[in-house]
């Protein structure tokens, strides 16, 4: 019934004994949810620092839980608007759901967002800067309720969607003990600039969770 | 030309009016259309039903997980989430990540490395597929995976640190990304791309890994204008590696011996040398104090704690300042009064030297 926690697939006998000797006591400290299976790897022993230095030797976590996010839907139509007006309504982007089933403590993740500029589909030189659009996170609904839940990092403040910065954090889970999920329906508003040229505009908005 | 977007609004309004007119003229045709749509919707639901049952409750999702963890990091919770390693120049490591399609439809997921930065207390992956020193050392066993409903696939990430690599900390992310497909409609469209990733914290250099160390340098209590109670603590990364610190706040020795908490803090990610505040928002009903506040923080296997006495009294510090000013004013007024009284008493009681002379001089005239 007892499977060996580690199998050495490469490396010398002496190194193997050393690894087993050090690995087994460490393995007892693994979380219960993170079952281990028989696989270890010696990555590039010829160029590496050697097994005794530890880092190239790995074990496999066989839990099936992942950090997941909703599959994006088709393009979201923000509508049309005259120059100088602001378009966009609450929840227009649809719900973004992050599900963390990695069975970790602390289960920490951060969701960030950025957008490209809005580009005219006919004359690509005509752009509406992403900075003219704002992102309001809105309520973050968490499951299970209670405990240490994900929160909106910007509160009730709408942030500009510029591309000059790498991205901005919008929702953060800082230490739930175990599986958790959070859902929010952002509101994207675009102030159509006075200089905008008629046409259909497309931008890509990216939610990143890690 | 530039006024035309508003012209298009007019067109949309006209179209709505036309539809209304259609309803009035051909009510039968409209009813038939509604009936057909209802049947189609029912059929779609019936077809999608069993497949949705397989994928389980919730919206269609896709996910990623780290499969291989270094034995040396087995007791470090951060190593289960992220690719964390210290590598000597010339070393190569391989880590597998698993991509999972948690939906009832087939999925095409691209997998790629991206640069990342640590800023404002957050780990932030860069825009798109930004190259960095670290990303040029990374090769993926495949650039994308096509997955059947609820299928899984392994992708191997190989990080080859060149022999000439300079010592330092490097950050990156392995992203799994799906992009929304479909035709844009007339107007202003947002194409959605969602991605989930495994962060990479890599330290490169000779010898062993740099030390992990951080300090909680201050704890302060504030009360916002709306009366919300907030505890802020400053966290400073004093070590040689990035940290992901999370922790709790406990309040003890409060009024009447009350204790409160533990409360979860907003976590913080810090590169070496960075310092950022963490916040804990408390219920308004928590008494003002004074309290003994204890903050415990953990990054991986490194724990730190700090204690301070805090008070949520509205403008407690300002009150004390007013008190000092008031005392000084009272003392000044008293001193001034005393001086005036002394002068008057002096004038009244002491014999004025000029008078007798004047009096005595008068008879002499």
Question: For B327-355, what is the mean pLDDT?
Answer: 71
C-alpha span between B356 and A138 (Å, rounded): 92
The alpha carbons of chain B give a radius of gyration, in whole angstroms, of 37
- Within an 8 Å CB–CB cutoff, is residue A42 touching chain B? no
Taking contacts as CB-CB distances below 8 angstroms, the residues of chain A near B81 are: 102, 104, 108
- Within an 8 Å CB–CB cutoff, is residue A154 touching chain B? no
- Within an 8 Å CB–CB cutoff, is residue A164 touching chain B? no
DSSP state, residue A116 = P
- Within an 8 Å CB–CB cutoff, is residue B112 touching chain A? no
The pLDDT of residue A35 is 37
Nearest to A209 among B98, B115, B196 (CB): B196
* Tens of pLDDT, residues A62-111: 778 999 999 988 788 888 888 888 888 777 888 999 999 988 888 889 99
Taking contacts as CB-CB distances below 8 angstroms, the residues of chain B near A165 are: 119
| Confidence label for B363 from pLDDT (cuts 50, 70 and 90) | very low
Are the Cβ atoms of A93 and B193 closer than 8 angstroms? no
Residue B154 pLDDT > 50: yes
Q: How many C-beta atoms lie closer than 10 Å to residue B117's C-beta?
A: 18
Helices (H) and strands (E) in chain B, counts: 6, 19
DSSP state, residue B285 = T
C-alpha span between B260 and B268 (Å, rounded): 23
Q: Which residue has the tokens 């949309």?
A: B12
- Angle A188-A193-A197 from CA coordinates, rounded to 5°: 110
Residue B216 pLDDT > 80: yes
| Sign of the torsion angle spanned by Cα atoms B323, B325, B328, B334 | negative
Residue B354 pLDDT > 80: no
C-alpha span between B23 and B37 (Å, rounded): 16
- Within an 8 Å CB–CB cutoff, is residue B100 touching chain A? yes
B10 versus A125: which is more confidently predicted?
A125
Taking contacts as CB-CB distances below 8 angstroms, the residues of chain B near A77 are: 184-185, 187-189
- Antiparallel, parallel or unpaired: β A133-136 and A107-115: unpaired
* Tens of pLDDT, residues B75-94: 888 999 999 999 999 999 99
The pLDDT of residue B324 is 65
* Tens of pLDDT, residues B16-68: 333 333 334 444 444 444 444 444 443 333 333 323 223 345 689 999 999 99
Are the Cβ atoms of A114 and B5 closer than 8 angstroms? no
Question: For B337-345, what is the mean pLDDT?
Answer: 81
- Antiparallel, parallel or unpaired: β B92-102 and B61-66: antiparallel
- What is the three-class DSSP state of B17? helix
Closest residue in chain A to residue B78, using alpha carbons only: A106
Beta bridge partners of A154: none
Q: Residues of chain A whose pLDDT is less than 50?
A: 1-55
The pLDDT of residue A6 is 33
The pLDDT of residue B284 is 82
The pLDDT of residue B349 is 60
Q: Which two tokens stand for residue A23?
A: 């690995």
- Give the distance from residue B124's alpha carbon to the nearest chain A alpha carbon, in angstroms: 7
Q: Give the global pTM.
A: 0.72
C-alpha span between B191 and A75 (Å, rounded): 4
The pLDDT of residue A148 is 67
How many Cα atoms sit within 13 Å of B22 on the Cβ side?
10
- Give the distance from residue A1's alpha carbon to the nearest chain B alpha carbon, in angstroms: 23
> Which chain B residues in 268-297 lie under 8 Å from chain A, judged by CB atoms?
269
Are the Cβ atoms of B189 and A200 closer than 8 angstroms? yes
A34 versus B209: which is more confidently predicted?
B209
Are the Cβ atoms of A106 and B267 closer than 8 angstroms? yes
Are the Cβ atoms of B197 and A209 closer than 8 angstroms? yes
């Amino acid at each position: 019934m007892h499977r060996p926690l580690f199998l050495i697939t490469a490396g010398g006998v002496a190194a193997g004994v050393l690894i087993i000797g050090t690995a087994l006591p460490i393995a007892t400290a693994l979380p219960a949810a993170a079952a281990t299976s028989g696989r270890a790897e010696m990555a590039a022993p010829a160029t590496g620092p050697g097994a005794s230095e530890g880092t190239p030797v790995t074990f496999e976590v066989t839990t099936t839980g992942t950090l997941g996010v909703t599959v994006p839907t088709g393009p979201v139509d923000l509508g049309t608007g005259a120059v100088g007006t602001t378009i966009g309504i609450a929840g227009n982007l649809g719900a973004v759901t992050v599900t963390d089933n990695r069975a970790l403590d602390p289960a920490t993740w951060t969701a960030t967002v950025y957008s490209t500029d809005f580009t005219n589909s006919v004359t690509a030189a005509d752009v509406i800067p992403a900075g003219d659009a704002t992102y309001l996170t809105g309520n973050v609904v968490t499951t299970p309720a209670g405990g240490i839940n994900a929160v909106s990092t910007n509160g009730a403040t709408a942030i500009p969607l510029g591309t000059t910065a790498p991205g901005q954090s919008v929702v953060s889970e800082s230490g739930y003990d175990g599986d958790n999920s959070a859902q929010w329906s952002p509101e994207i508003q675009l102030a159509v600039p006075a200089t905008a040229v008629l046409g259909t505009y497309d931008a890509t908005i990216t939610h990143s969770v890690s | 030309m530039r006024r035309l977007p508003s012209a298009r609004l007019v067109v949309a309004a006209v179209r709505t009016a036309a539809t209304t007119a259609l309803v009035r003229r051909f009510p039968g045709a409209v009813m038939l259309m509604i009936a057909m749509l209802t049947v189609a919707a029912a059929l779609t639901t019936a077809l999608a039903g069993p497949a949705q049952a397989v994928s389980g409750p919730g919206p269609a999702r896709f996910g990623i997980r780290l499969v291989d963890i270094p034995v040396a990091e087995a007791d470090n919770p951060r190593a289960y989430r992220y690719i964390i390693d210290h590598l000597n120049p010339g070393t190569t490591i391989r880590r597998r990540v698993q991509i999972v399609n948690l939906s009832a439809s087939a999925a095409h997921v691209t997998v790629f490395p991206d640069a990342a930065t640590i800023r404002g207390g957050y780990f932030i992956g860069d825009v798109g597929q930004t190259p960095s020193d670290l990303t040029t050392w990374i090769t993926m066993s495949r650039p994308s995976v096509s997955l059947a409903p609820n299928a899984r696939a392994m992708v191997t990430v190989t990080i080859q640190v060149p022999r000439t690599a300079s010592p330092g900390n490097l950050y990156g992310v392995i992203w799994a990304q799906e992009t929304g497909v479909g035709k844009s409609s007339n107007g202003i469209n947002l194409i959605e791309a969602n991605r989930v990733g495994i962060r990479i914290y890599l330290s490169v250099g000779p010898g062993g890994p740099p030390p992990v160390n951080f300090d909680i340098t201050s704890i302060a209590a504030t009360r916002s204008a709306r009366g919300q109670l907030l505890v802020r603590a400053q966290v400073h990364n004093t070590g040689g590696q990035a940290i992901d610190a999370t922790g709790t706040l406990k309040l003890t020795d409060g009024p009447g011996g009350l204790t409160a908490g533990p409360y979860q803090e907003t976590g913080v990610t810090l590169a070496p040398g960075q310092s950022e505040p963490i916040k804990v928002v408390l219920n308004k009903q928590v008494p003002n104090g004074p309290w003994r506040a204890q903050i415990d923080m953990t990054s991986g296997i490194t724990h730190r704690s700090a204690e301070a006495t805090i008070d949520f009294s509205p403008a407690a510090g300002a009150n004390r300042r007013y008190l000092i000013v008031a005392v000084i004013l009272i003392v000044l007024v008293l001193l001034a009064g005393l001086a005036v009284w002394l002068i008057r008493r002096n004038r009244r009681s002491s014999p004025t030297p000029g008078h007798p002379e004047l009096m005595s001089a008068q008879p002499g005239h």
